[in-house]
């Protein structure tokens, strides 16, 4: 192994611990599962991302609605109607899930 590669590998850290070349590490050295704090941080992050996406969707929907009304459009191109139908379907699916979330929790 080249000296340069050894130098790079000697700087590697795993979960904040230095890794020794040739050393065997087991589950007792590093926990295999995420800590409760890591899980909560991910949940918080996903909720924030979801709210951001929803806010963008609402803003975009308002722009589309206002432009269609302002231009008094009588028809839309097929691909536009397809995208509107798909996004409406996705949002309806999530809305139904959120409304019935308690029922889904009971099934698990």
pLDDT of residue 45: 74
Task: Report which of residues 18 and 26 the model is more confident about.
Answer: 18
Rounded distance between C-alpha atoms, residue 34 and residue 54, angstroms: 28
pLDDT of residue 59: 95
In this prediction the pTM is 0.54
Is the separation of the CB atoms in 14 and 25 below 8 Å? Answer: yes
pLDDT of residue 101: 84
Domain ranges of the chain: 1-32, 36-74, 76-108
Q: pLDDT of 62-107, one tens digit each? A: 999 999 999 999 999 999 999 999 999 999 999 999 899 888 677 6
CA dist 89 to 62, 95, 103, Å? 17, 10, 21
Is the separation of the CB atoms in 14 and 31 below 8 Å? Answer: no
């Amino acid at each position: 192994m080249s000296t340069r590669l050894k130098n790079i590998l000697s700087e590697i850290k795993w979960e904040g611990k230095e890794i020794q070349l040739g050393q065997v590490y087991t589950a007792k050295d590093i926990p295999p599962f995420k800590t409760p704090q890591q899980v909560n941080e991910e949940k918080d992050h996903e909720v924030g991302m979801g709210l951001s996406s929803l806010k963008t969707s609402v803003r975009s929907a308002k722009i589309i609605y206002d432009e269609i009304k302002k231009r008094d459009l009588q028809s839309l191109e097929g691909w536009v109607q397809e995208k509107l139908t798909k996004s409406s379907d996705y949002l309806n699916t999530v809305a139904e899930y959120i409304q019935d979330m308690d029922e889904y929790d009971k099934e698990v």
